[in-house]
Amino acid sequence: MVKSIPYSAVKTEGFWKKRADINRESTIPTIYKRFSETGRFGALSCKLEEGMPRPHIFWDSDAAKWIEACAYSLRQNPDSELEKQVDGLIDRIAAAQLEDGYYNCYYIPCELQNRFTNRDNHELYCAGHLTEAAVAYYETTGKDKLLNVMKKYLELIIKVFVTDDSASFSTPGHEEIELALIKLYELTGEEKYKDLCAHFINTRGTSEKDKGTRDWTGPDYDQSHKPVRELREAVGHSVRALYLYSGMADLARHTGDKELIKACKALFDNINLKRMYVTGGVGSTAHGEAFTEDYDLPNDIAYSETCASIALTYFCRRMLLLEPDSKYADAAERAFYNCVLGGVSLDGRAFFYVNPLEINIRKHELRKKYYNRRENLLTQRIEVFDCSCCPPNLARVIASFGGELYTKDENTVFAHHFCKSTAEFDGIKIKQDTRYPAYGDVRFTVSGLKGGTFAVRIPGWCSFATLNGEALPKETVKGYIYLDVTEDEQIFDFYFDMKPRFVAANPAVDSDLGKVCIARGPVIYCMESSLNGGVKPGRISVDTNAVFGCEDDEETGAIKLTVKAFEDAESDKLYYDYTAEKKEREIVLLPYFAYANHGESDMAVWLRMA
Amino acid sequence: MVKSIPYSAVKTEGFWKKRADINRESTIPTIYKRFSETGRFGALSCKLEEGMPRPHIFWDSDAAKWIEACAYSLRQNPDSELEKQVDGLIDRIAAAQLEDGYYNCYYIPCELQNRFTNRDNHELYCAGHLTEAAVAYYETTGKDKLLNVMKKYLELIIKVFVTDDSASFSTPGHEEIELALIKLYELTGEEKYKDLCAHFINTRGTSEKDKGTRDWTGPDYDQSHKPVRELREAVGHSVRALYLYSGMADLARHTGDKELIKACKALFDNINLKRMYVTGGVGSTAHGEAFTEDYDLPNDIAYSETCASIALTYFCRRMLLLEPDSKYADAAERAFYNCVLGGVSLDGRAFFYVNPLEINIRKHELRKKYYNRRENLLTQRIEVFDCSCCPPNLARVIASFGGELYTKDENTVFAHHFCKSTAEFDGIKIKQDTRYPAYGDVRFTVSGLKGGTFAVRIPGWCSFATLNGEALPKETVKGYIYLDVTEDEQIFDFYFDMKPRFVAANPAVDSDLGKVCIARGPVIYCMESSLNGGVKPGRISVDTNAVFGCEDDEETGAIKLTVKAFEDAESDKLYYDYTAEKKEREIVLLPYFAYANHGESDMAVWLRMA
């Protein structure tokens, strides 16, 4: 069976090290401060004292993700002060756990009598995140206090949901615990956790108890509209969906369940071929934070939640364990370098929950003022949201990126992602020297794999690559080139050509008709008016034969592009016979992940073709 | 003073005769039937009997516009049966009029005690339409029953609103009566009607009593936000606005009020240069059926109410009387041949209230289903609306189009519009031989104007014209060429080149960026998927150097166009490196005014440029 090489085995440098440093120095403390101020951490004691805000049903999960992020960060950068902060939170949780194992910072003080009665109220989702945090913190520190809290709580959950079937519902309204249970199973080897995961997954979409009563959406909102093995299209709340699909892939890996694997593959293909933004964002609509239908990918009202894109990377990572196919790593890479990183400011202090691919401030204000439309557009990242799932989710992803790079199957090591780093596992050492994503040269120095195979992903975006100075043949096996390792220490020098590209969307995507976006390597670019003398991107058209200027950009760690384009000529008339008259002008493009870091601005990923 | 040449002096043939015939044979009877069925005509008796629907506050106006349309139609085609129907309605109205002159089919039976207390409830608007109907019916038939009813009612209105100032408000919440009062003044010469018009116009935006209490919009909704002489931008409910501006122009013509004329000109220019669709539609948003801001002209959610475009032609016609400038006739022509005619089906039986410039059925359904958007899209004309102002408004416009052609000033006759017709007035006879709008040749045969001047509008859309076979110089006086008439009967042979044109919009119109529309003469074209093998217009791009195929089209009375264009190539990928690969295909374009006559269909006026 293919196994993950965990983040703990990989020391990252370069681009991702810089992001991890910002994460550790700015993001994690910023979230700590904000969660403390908003009462999220105080609430963990489950006492509703005078002056404290009423906890929200998902506050446990916010704290849990922050703890998990700390666990990953502490592994590479021990920090006793931070560890003390985490221990303090865990002490609160442990002290508040009820005798029978129950723990939930909302239900205990607010309406304990109603626990396990409202499927929409995130209890199992919170338990899942706390389980993930417990596993991660135990793995880093060896401390098992939170782990034991969760084991005890899970005994209760097994009793209530399996043994007694006494809850008012059968499966989580917000999936997440499924993948957490597999993590705990993999840590402990205890079958009961895998069994509980299987119970939730197999029961989903089949239970009378779960027939919803929501009036504003159907059972597809939380993927309860049919048994999971029959799912073929990604529907409903996108984070819920992708956490479920991740859990399904996890379970299938341990059971070999062919029907489950078939569903997972179909769901991935549906997203990858029809329901994903070019930035790796998913979930087009704010209404239900949900997937809609094939090719419906509006840019200006895109929801594209940060957490959904993160969840997509989780699903991809798990699919890679089922089947080494570069389409999974390609999709994950698309999400990482675009939508996911775009969710946090370059200084690590502020966040986007929603990641549109177009910002037209005036249009948006006109729609609000005159057209009775209520969608909210944030044009600046903010430090905390009422629903603050994204910031700590980003923190845990960035702190553990090293875990994305490799998987291993018997004698084959798969390199999925490119990142300056050193990995050591199973007597094998792999060093990556690369300036990725700024440049496409990647030198692997592989030791300890003599007689084995080293499989390297050729990125889907790359149309020309060399290995040790020679052009690579086009033929790969599902996107990987398999290399025999014949030396004790062997160097593989890859070069992935990163000439900037004009990318088109399938013409079924109405929103992108007549437009291209600009990509370089895995990075998708955008044009902001703030960096272009105030010119609105809509007035610009690009010549698809144009040559780009490339410049190192320290701020983003990627390349800044310039290109000659055209600006539509002004006129004092409203309508006039068309003439091809246009002003030539150079435009500056920055990576999408760096948008909204240079003042409030109009922005567009997709630009018209001249 | 420049004077109108009324519809009664002009006998139309050709294109407009065909429309008038359909109007008489289909539209007027269809509306009669529908208004009878829905209770609108029964309600005129002001008795709320068992089983009758409760009348709406604007039903009087619906009936009045139908009567007015009949009056115009009867002038050219006497029809004793139709006249009897009208007389029957007038008898009902006269019988129900109260002793003190009051008449309103809603207030009398429903809440008489509240008359003149609710500014929003259309009483004066209804009185205005009934006055217009009374004038028109008297002019055609010499019958003065309705005229006397309205004179008596207006005495009451003068008492209540001027003499006693006893109403709860000072000016109409829905303007219309202003222009009606000028019509009555022009018929009777009685100053009191002009004075009442002046009272309403001068008081507007100044009265404490009119300070609104609506929570969903401000006083600009009904143009009460400032004194009318200070208005410079067209705002609020677009039909209300344009009826007001028409009344202002009417009044200014009789008073020479410079401040009022200045306001009218500024308002026209604001609309004409910044707030009008290429189809002559106005009022971008459904929310308040209103103007929004400069250059905000969305295509798919365009409101562009038929009545607003009709009201624009009223305003233009009155501005032409103030100042012969072709911009007014150009705008009116744009509205007539596109948005106005587009409001009724080719068979005259069904109507659009809202006239979008783009229909994308799937996009619309996705927005409703997944994005919580409630705008309604009609893709088929229907026979009656709850708010059925547009159908009878169309009927009266089409029945009286001949009145648009000429104005006269001392010894100068102005020809504003082109239409096969014969006009006789003041001893002058003008015959137009033309196939307009299908072809640009117009032969005027002018008799009885020897020694005078014949001024002909050179259409703004025309870049090449000849007179009697010689190219016309570019110089015109405000768009008119002034010709000395030296013969008893003189022929002026004009040719306005109608080569199809690609028209661009000002780049400040976001919705039209990168797009062109196709025009030929005054007619704007659209592409419908129903006539193009199901291909969605969004997938098509046009080569702006392409040559058009032109074909006579009996159904529309205009020209059908074909042109080579490109269809974006299908793909099985979602994103891919752009290649210029496109399928060439011929597309068929019909006049916008004929849209939605060939089955439910996607439609677009603006097409991408290849």
- Which chain A residues touch B538 with a CB distance below 8 Å? 510, 513
Specify the pLDDT at position B261: 98
Q: To the nearest whole angstrom, how far is the Cα of B377 from the nearest Cα of chain A?
A: 15
CA angle (B80 as vertex; B76, B81 as ends), nearest 5: 115
Bridge partners (DSSP) listed for residue A526: A590
Radius of gyration of chain B (CA): 24
- Check pLDDT > 70 for residue B391: yes
Nearest-Cα distance to chain B for A159, in Å, is: 38
DSSP A351: B
Return the pLDDT at B178: 98
**Identity of the residue in A285, A373, A516 whose CB atom sits nearest the CB atom of B578:** A516
Buried b (16+ CB within 10 A) or exposed e, A220-229: bbbbbbeebb
- B501–A577 C-beta distance less than 8 A: yes
Task: From chain A, pick out residues whose CB is under 8 angstroms from the CB of B510.
Answer: 360, 362-363, 538
H helices present in A256-325, as ranges: 258-274, 306-322
Tell me which residues of B are annotated as active site: 289, 389
What was the pLDDT predicted at A383? 78
Q: Given CA atoms A353, A355, A360, A364 in this order, what sign does their dihedral have?
A: negative
Which of A506, A539, A574 to substitute to test the interface with B, most B CBs within 10 Å? A574
Chain B residues with beta carbon closer than 8 angstroms to that of A579: 504
Task: Please indicate whether, in this complex, the C-beta atoms of A513 and B539 are within 8 angstroms of each other.
Answer: yes
CB contact under 8 A, A502 and B538: no
H-assigned helices in A223-257: 238-255
Q: How far is A95 from chain B (nearest CA, A)?
A: 44
What is the C-alpha separation between B494 and B472, in angstroms, rounded?
9
With 80 as the cut, is the pLDDT of residue B474 above it? no
Q: Which of A463, A509, A513 has its CB closest to that of B608?
A: A513
Shortest CA distance from A280: residue in chain B: B575
CA distance B124 to chain A (A): 27
What pLDDT score was predicted for residue A580? 85
Q: For residue A440, give both structure tokens.
A: 């496409």
The tokens describing B64, both together, are 């009045």
Task: Express each pLDDT in A70-114 by its tens digit.
Answer: 999 999 999 999 999 999 999 999 999 999 999 999 999 999 999
> How many CB pairs below 8 Å do chains A and B form together?
132
Interchain pair A278, B575: CB under 8 A: yes
Is the pLDDT at B347 greater than 80, yes or no? yes
**pLDDT higher than threshold 70 for residue B213:** no
pLDDT tens digit sequence for B15-40: 999 999 999 999 999 999 999 999 99
Question: Which parts of chain A have pLDDT scores under 70?
Answer: 213, 384-387, 474
CB contact under 8 A, A510 and B538: yes
Q: Is B577 close to A504, i.e. CB distance below 8 A? A: yes
Using a CB-CB distance cutoff of 8 angstroms, which residues of chain B are in contact with residue A570? 507
3-state secondary structure B133-176: HHHHHHHHHCCCHHHHHHHHHHHHHHHHHHHCCCCCCCCCCCCC
Distance CA B516, CA B565 (A): 13
Q: How many CA atoms lie less than 13 Å away from A94 in the CB half-sphere?
A: 15
Chain A residue closest to B568 (CA)?
A507
Interface contact flag, A578 B516, Cβ < 8 Å = yes
Task: Please give the average per-residue pLDDT across B333-357, as a whole number.
Answer: 96
Split at pLDDT 50, 70, 90, the class of B463 is very high
Cα of B181 to nearest chain A Cα, Å: 33
Give the contacts of B486 (CB within 8 A, at least 6 positions apart).
B450, B451
Contact B510 A371 (CB under 8 A): no
Are A568 and B507 within 8 A, CB to CB?
Answer: yes
| Cβ contacts of A514 on chain B, cutoff 8 Å | 514, 541, 608
DSSP result, B314-347: HHHHHHHHH---HHHHHHHHHIIIIIIHHTB-TT
Mean pLDDT to the nearest integer, B178-182: 98
**Cis-peptide into A437, omega within 30 deg:** yes
Residues of A in contact with B509 (CB under 8 A): 574
3-state secondary structure of A603: strand
Average pLDDT in chain B: 96
Task: Show residues of chain A in contact with B363, CB under 8 Å.
Answer: 510
Cross-chain CB nearest to A503 (options B503, B577, B580): B577
Edge-to-edge order in the sheet of strand A441-447? A10-12, A421-425, A428-434, A441-447, A489-496, A465-467, A470-471
Predicted confidence at residue B1, as pLDDT, reads 82
- Report, as residue numbers or ranges, the catalytic residues of A: 289, 389
The alpha-carbon gap from B275 to the nearest alpha carbon of chain A, in Å, equals 9
Residue among B370, B510, B579 whose CB faces A290 most closely: B370
Q: What is the pLDDT of residue B383?
A: 78
pLDDT band at B580 (very low <50, low <70, confident <90, very high): confident
Which residue of chain B has the CA closest to A569?
B507
Q: Do B370 and A293 touch (CB under 8 A)?
A: yes
- For residue A354, the distance in angstroms to the closest alpha carbon of chain B comes to 15
pLDDT at B384 over 80: no
Q: Which residues pair with B504 in a beta bridge?
A: A576
Token pair of B267 as six digits: 């308002």
What confidence score (pLDDT) does residue A213 get? 66
Q: Report the run of H or E that residue A583 belongs to, with start and end.
A: strand A582-591
Cα A178 from Cα A254, distance rounded (Å): 13
pLDDT of residue B380: 86
